[in-house]
Structure 1
Amino acid sequence: MIKYAWTSVKNNKSSSALFIIAMIAILTVSTISLHSIKDIQAQVDDDIKHFARGSYDILVRAKDSQTPVEKTLGVVEENYLGAGNGGITIEMWKKIQSMKEIEIAAPVASLGYFTGFSRTVDFPFPESSSLLSASFITSDGIHEYQWGDKKETFYLKQDGYFDGFDSLKDFKRRTETSVSGEKPRFMIPQSFHLVMGIDFEQEGKLTGIPFNELIRELTPEEQMFMSFAEKAAIIKVLYLKDPKISVKININIQNIPWETKDTLALKEKLGISTSHDGMLEFVDDEARKSIIEYLSNLEPISNTSFTFDLSNQVTPFYFEPFSVDYNGNISPSENYATSISESSQFYSTSPVEYQIKKDYLAVKQVGEQDHVPTYREIKKHGQPGYYNTTAVPFLFVPINAFSAKEYEKSLAASPLGIYHQAPTTTKDGTVVHETAVPGSFISSPAHGLIDINDTVHIKGEKPIDAIRIKVAGIHQYDEEAEKKILHVVEQLHKLGDFHIDIVAGASPKTMQLDVEGIGMVTQQWTSLGAAAKITDGWNLSNMLISGLFILVGFIYILNRIFFWKNTRKNETKILSDIGWSDRHINTFHFLELGILGVIATFISFIITVSFIFNFSMDHHCYYCLVYASFLDSLFLLFV
């Protein structure tokens, strides 16, 4: 029978060759594909085990703390913990921290936007009598905005009087005190900065950044600034030295036709002494208005403007005083005015109300702050200390700076929610950034950090917005790690009504935003807990791909066999006519197909071996080939 089957194979060379080629292709490609899928699956599993775990494992937040975008799309902004209403007590955090299964429990309390020291910047006197105007400017990277009101001062020549000038401010903008003979000096507007409460020890373990400055005693110099508000809670703040605060100043100088004799005549008319104790600033408002109106109507001799970028000099909460000359040279200043009493007045902001579109998020402007557009609702709290020092509940003392730049890669391992800031860019690559006022659509990183125990002075008894938890005893993200994490989650649910996320495998996601007044921009957001989704999704994809590939191969073989049987009808009839039974005919056809299958399997084996040696594939290819050949044999047997 085998001899007859072999003779039939030789006599039908064309159809036999086509069948063998098809079998070789299916066996070889199936073997290599199944092996590749298995190898990729192993790599994915290995990568998830070793790299899915970030800086922490579990994020605990107050109930109903998710934004609509997070609920709908499953993604969060960078620094998404920058706005929150609290909801977790310090006592609850300490209870969670004490659990034996927990290695790190780092709390975060978002407190709002505060200011620290404010200082003046001074300039040289003009060369002659002039109207000197100063406007501060801030920018979002696309547009520049006048920041606050313009400040105008007339400098009137008077030889022998201090540095040769007396001055008179426009009474409508007289918000700063003036001293006779002082250089042109302008208070830099208050820039407000996001402050977060942390536990220095737990945060240090989580990030690797040392925050020990938060527990040191204040120096005598630092205590001196707080002496006027003895009843206030004194809160030490570490400030971030990395951010570049967008602030420029435009100085416009209009030289006017006015000489020393004109100043002396004006003072005599007003009954003001022409000696050093006579100041034009002493005049009443009615006289001031009249003088300024007269001086403003004088035809300027010349008009010169200068714009200087002060962004590198101004840092959150504290910066050294400085002077600028009209060539842009910057030097330290010994004579300056300063203010710290505004730190008890602060702003809180709501999350951006995104409109979820098909392929992007829309952001609408909701208002203005100091002439600068805002995209979040802003609420003002407290009042400056100069109104009533006894009513000030707390004051900040900037004690030192910290930097997050050298920790950027580790901080990006998980969405820590308060540090990392990937750039927001337009289509042409222009970087869009925060302005110097609260309310930007860009989520700010923490510019200031205070001790978590001090947050109750600002936010009440439930100040904590989130707790980032690292589970003890986990070295890689595998099934055993998942069980430990899930066990801790169960214990946390028993402690309180929290919203809990497992953040393993948190991954960045590029989002498109259509921002009113700016246009389309790109931001990096984060999806929480992607590891399990990746594993489950990859397993399902592999099963579908493998199943469909094998199904297509078997359907082709089945189709080929039926076609082969159809072409052999005449031969089958002859065999039946000469007395062969149906059993013998089926055996004959099976042997013929078996010979073709053995030849195809042998050649496929040779090809697979060559792949193993030439492309460094491992021995598991043999098992895949044997498995595929076995399935083919079963298939041929039952056809």
Structure 2
Amino acid sequence: MRRIIWAQLRRRAGRALAMFFAIVTATIGFVVLTGNTRTSQLTVAGEVNAHFRGSYDILVRPTGSRSALEADRGLLRPNFLSSRYGGITLDQWRGITKVRDVEVAAPIGNLGYSPFFAGRRFDLTALVDRSATRQLIRQRRVWSADRGLTVAAESPDLVYVTKRPVIRPLDEDPVDGTQKYADGRTRRNPCPDGIPPPVLEVREDGDEVPLCLASGEGTRRRPALVVELDADGLFHYPSSTPGQPSPRLDPLALVMMSYSVAAIDPDSEAKLVGLDSAMTFGRYLEPDRAGGERRRFDGPVNLVPAIGTASPQIDEKVFVRAERVIADPSTGDLGRLAELANTAPAEARLDTAPVDSVDAQQSARTDGTLYFAGGLLSRIGRSGAVEYQVDPDGTLRPELRRPAGAAWTEPVGAPPQLWNDTALRETTMIRSGDRAGANQMGVGLDPIGFFDPARLTQRDPLAETPMETYDANVLRGAREVDRELLGDQPLSPNSNPGGYHSPPPAFLVSLNSLAALTGETAPISAVRVRVAGIDGFNSVSRERVRRVADDISRATGLDVEVTLGASPSAQTVVLPAGQYGRPELRLSEDWTRKGVSATIAQAVDRKSVVLFGLILVVCVLFLVNAVSAAVRERHRELALLSCLGWSRARLVALLAGETMLLGVLAGAVSSVLAVPLGLRIGTDVGWERALWAVPVAGAVALVAGLVPAWRASAAAPLNVVRRSGRNVTVKLGHGRAGVLRLAIANLLRVPGRTALGCVALAAGVAGLTLLMAIVWTFQGAVSGSILGEAISLRVRGADVLAVVLTVLLGLMSVVDVLYLNIRERAGELAILRASGWSRSSVRRLVGYEGVGIGVLGALAGAATGCVAAAWFAGVLDVRLLWTTAAVALAGVALAGLAALVPVMLLDRLPLAGQLSAD
């Protein structure tokens, strides 16, 4: 039997080499891909363990804080603190610190936005016409935000420059409708109602001209600034700077914005993020100071110790746009005041250099000088949460709210200009001083130090949870047009409380100070918890965090979110157009997806199991087809051996032995080639795993050869010898319709052969469809987050290789079946040629049969793969249906291309020889 086996392999070297090559391909693919699967598992496990933990493991929020959108998507929205003011008591926080395995419980509380104003000088000297006796300059403070897309101009102020002497009113209040002036005389106000007593300009003839110039409306009307220009070219300002003329015209401009204040527990924050080590100037907060110390600064005030951020992360600039107006205000034409202030034509214009609004207000001084950073117990603005409309594709559209400026109720002054921009949060104003019992301007901040958020404890961008206390949430352009509008930069927040995203707090005070200021019994907005003993993303660590979260929930009744294993996840947000020029923007915003690490670990394990089994099944199907083809080619030889007395078991052993020998030899070659090929694609197969190719190839070949060998040995010898299979009707015409009908008849006449070809192609198509579903499901499970995207890029190469090998094996099976059909039906085709069929008609016949096999096999395989893919993915979506259709069409096309190979062999068939053989 051994001599027969070797003789058969030598005599049918072409068939043996084809099977050998098939087994080598299948075995190498099996060994390398299973090795890559293991490598992928280790890679993913390593990535997850390296990036599974943010700054905290558990987030505790007041009851009812979790929005429906967060619950539906398993997300944690950024800026969740900016709309939460208190809700957790000091006793609840202390209870959290006592829960077993709680390493750090760091509370954070919000006070709100404090309006703030300061003076800033902008140089307008270049705009002055020094030859003019008098001139009027209109100036506006212009605010720029949103990467320059938002430009908001305030109502104008007037500056009157004159070379004539002026008499100024004193700062004393009018008595009986008269105002005392600097020359000692009193005069009645000649200006219309609502305009303060004017400066008097003395003309060359001695007449006094009242300068009834004012800006603004109603109670917010402001008198024009009158500046004297002397013969030396120096500018004299009002009595606030007597005797100090200046070579520059740089009137003091009122710059008004707002800044936010939050409170921390200094000890907890130092342990959580190392805030005490991030100080760049001054000293850190002392946790035991509740309140402040009274100091002298323009009157007695109560100053609260605070630390400020050295990086406010606010995109907001201010500059002055000044215009020299074509008008003569000294003519006494009081009816033109509105025109002069707003619409009078200009003969010259000057835009000053922009400055950051924070710098303009000097709210982050680091020179050691005491700085009174605002009146915390005046009006405080608090912004609400953003509400969304959700598009069918999941895009988020924030709902509009009334502008923050509409909540401004102060009788004097106007809100900061950007408070009037389009709002997506509802702003309310409170007077926190009412609870503390202090005077309206009795409390301010004393910046005792400044910190740099970049120097905080190193945080992992792949696993970071929201830390809006120090970082603004990131908004990037979602489309090319949006990125171009933003200059390829993120959209940063400004100081508008009604804006979509809020800046980090400009100042941090101690939690005790916040409680003393507001008198609130529950001043804490959230508590960030880090659990002790977490040394990796394993079942023990996950269970410990889950238990701590359950204990906190039971002890406090608060909303508890497990953030261990979370990662930022991009959500598409559409911001509506702004009031001051910013167009609608489609942005990508990083929310936090919970449970990403666990999902990744589960997905890669499931994918590995399915990929392993699928490759094995495709290998066996291919070999079954190849062995079946070899057995059919030898049916007469096997029948003769049976007639000579060979038993069925001996025939099975002969056929299985041939296949087994090819499998072992192919396995040996595969084990040698697997290691270098694995290294080529970045997989360390290892010689121990590579040696498994020998028994795997032998076992697969044996399993694949047993079934066709057993079927071949069961045939009746005499029937096999007598069977000719040449009963063909040739009365059909050889036009296109006749060729197509004969091709269909041939497929139906030999259903077993047709089914074998269809199954071979169906295996490849089904494998491709299922593999695509595996890849997509895996990518869908792990992508959608920064950590998931990073991991998916590392394991995608193995998926691509698996798809390529699956398609290659299926295509080889189809070619093999069609080639065998040509060999077995050579006489049949020769008869057709002899009966008058043209060469092109015979070619079309073979091609139609190949396409028929392709249609049946591709449709069956695509349907099977689609059902299996839907089961694996857990959903039958449109994308999977389109992919199934595309794969089916590709299968038909591949079958048609495969038919070209046997069609080319038709020209080599000797017509006379085939006829004589039949």
The worse-fitting range, judged by mean Cα deviation, of 473-482 and 620-629 is 620-629
Counterpart-to-counterpart distance in 1, 2:306 and 2:510? 8
Q: 1:293 to 1:344 in 2, by over 3 A?
A: closer
**For residue 269 of structure 1, what is the aligned residue in structure 2?**
none
**For residue 427 of structure 2, what is the aligned residue in structure 1?**
378
Amino acid at match of 1:131: L
Amino acid at match of 2:544: K
Q: Return the offset for 1:238.
A: 2.3
Q: 1:627 to 1:572 in 2, by over 3 A?
A: closer
**For residue 328 of structure 1, what is the aligned residue in structure 2?**
none
Q: 1:9 to 1:414 in 2, by over 3 A?
A: same
**For residue 50 of structure 2, what is the aligned residue in structure 1?**
50
**For residue 465 of structure 1, what is the aligned residue in structure 2?**
525
Counterpart-to-counterpart distance in 2, 1:303 and 1:122? 17
Counterpart-to-counterpart distance in 1, 2:51 and 2:341? 68
Q: Does 1:213 align with 2:298?
A: no
Q: 1:624 to 1:34 in 2, by over 3 A?
A: farther
Q: Deviations over 1:471-530 (max 9, x none)?
A: 112232223322322222232232122333322333233333222112223333332331
**For residue 600 of structure 2, what is the aligned residue in structure 1?**
534
Q: Deviations over 1:351-405 (max 9, x none)?
A: 22222220532234433334322221211222899xx963679644443332213
Which residue among 369, 374, 383 is the counterpart of 1:340? Answer: 374
SS across alignment from 2:305: strand
Q: Does 1:420 align with 2:471?
A: yes
SS across alignment from 1:367: coil
Q: 1:415 to 1:219 in 2, by over 3 A?
A: closer
CA contact (8 A) 1:374 1:439 kept: yes
Q: Return the offset for 1:22.
A: 0.7
CA contact (8 A) 1:86 1:463 kept: yes
Larger relative helix fraction? 2
Q: Return the offset for 1:339.
A: 8.2
Q: Deviations over 1:23-78 (max 9, x none)?
A: 11111111011001101111111221233222222222233322343223333444
Q: Deviations over 1:406-447 (max 9, x none)?
A: 449627452243122335332325343323322111243232
**For residue 329 of structure 1, what is the aligned residue in structure 2?**
none
CA contact (8 A) 1:365 1:375 kept: yes
SS across alignment from 1:373: coil
Q: Does 1:184 align with 2:251?
A: yes
Amino acid at match of 2:111: L
Counterpart-to-counterpart distance in 2, 1:296 and 1:602? 94
Q: Which has the higher contact order (CA 8 A, sep 6+)?
A: 1
Counterpart-to-counterpart distance in 2, 1:214 and 1:68? 37
Amino acid at match of 1:374: A
Of the two, which has the highest radius of gyration? 2
Amino acid at match of 1:530: V
**Superposition pairs of residues 188-587 of structure 1, within 5 angstroms:** 188-189=255-256, 191-210=257-276, 213-215=284-286, 223-225=295-297, 228=300, 235-242=304-311, 243-254=313-324, 292=337, 302-311=347-356, 314=359, 318=363, 340-341=374-375, 344-357=378-391, 358=393, 360-368=395-403, 369=405, 370=417, 371-382=420-431, 390=439, 395-407=444-456, 410=459, 412=461, 413-418=463-468, 419-421=470-472, 422=474, 424-425=476-477, 426-428=482-484, 429-430=486-487, 431=489, 432-456=491-515, 457-458=517-518, 460-517=520-577, 518-587=584-653
Q: 1:31 to 1:220 in 2, by over 3 A?
A: closer
Amino acid at match of 1:200: P
Q: 1:143 to 1:549 in 2, by over 3 A?
A: same
Q: 1:406 to 1:316 in 2, by over 3 A?
A: farther
Give the structure-2-normalised TM-score: 0.58
Counterpart-to-counterpart distance in 2, 1:591 and 1:92? 77
Q: Does 1:632 align with 2:687?
A: no
Counterpart-to-counterpart distance in 2, 1:505 and 1:176? 61
CA contact (8 A) 2:423 2:498 kept: yes
Counterpart-to-counterpart distance in 1, 2:390 and 2:136? 51
Q: 1:249 to 1:343 in 2, by over 3 A?
A: farther
Counterpart-to-counterpart distance in 1, 2:107 and 2:342? 61
**For residue 134 of structure 1, what is the aligned residue in structure 2?**
139
Counterpart-to-counterpart distance in 2, 1:631 and 1:8? 21
Counterpart-to-counterpart distance in 2, 1:153 and 1:408? 51
CA contact (8 A) 1:135 1:146 kept: no
Give the structure-1-normalised TM-score: 0.81
Larger relative strand fraction? 1
Counterpart-to-counterpart distance in 2, 1:23 and 1:436? 69
Identity across matched positions, percent: 19
**Superposition pairs of residues 142-153 of structure 1, within 5 angstroms:** 142-146=148-152, 148-153=154-159
Counterpart-to-counterpart distance in 1, 2:120 and 2:361? 15
Q: 1:572 to 1:238 in 2, by over 3 A?
A: same
CA contact (8 A) 2:575 2:587 kept: yes
**For residue 88 of structure 1, what is the aligned residue in structure 2?**
88
The worse-fitting range, judged by mean Cα deviation, of 582-591 and 516-525 is 516-525
Give RMSD over aligned pairs: 4.0
Amino acid at match of 1:247: K
Q: Deviations over 1:200-233 (max 9, x none)?
A: 1211222222276322879999722496466xxx
Counterpart-to-counterpart distance in 1, 2:452 and 2:606? 44
- Structure 2: stretches of 5+ with no match in the other structure: 169-181, 183-198, 202-210, 226-236, 241-249, 406-416, 578-583, 708-918
Counterpart-to-counterpart distance in 2, 1:636 and 1:379? 77
Counterpart-to-counterpart distance in 2, 1:302 and 1:55? 58
Counterpart-to-counterpart distance in 2, 1:514 and 1:14? 64
SS across alignment from 2:352: strand
The worse-fitting range, judged by mean Cα deviation, of 538-547 and 77-86 is 77-86
Q: Return the offset for 1:316.
A: 7.6
Amino acid at match of 1:223: R
CA contact (8 A) 2:136 2:161 kept: yes
Q: 1:479 to 1:584 in 2, by over 3 A?
A: same
Counterpart-to-counterpart distance in 1, 2:695 and 2:54? 39
Counterpart-to-counterpart distance in 2, 1:384 and 1:129? 47
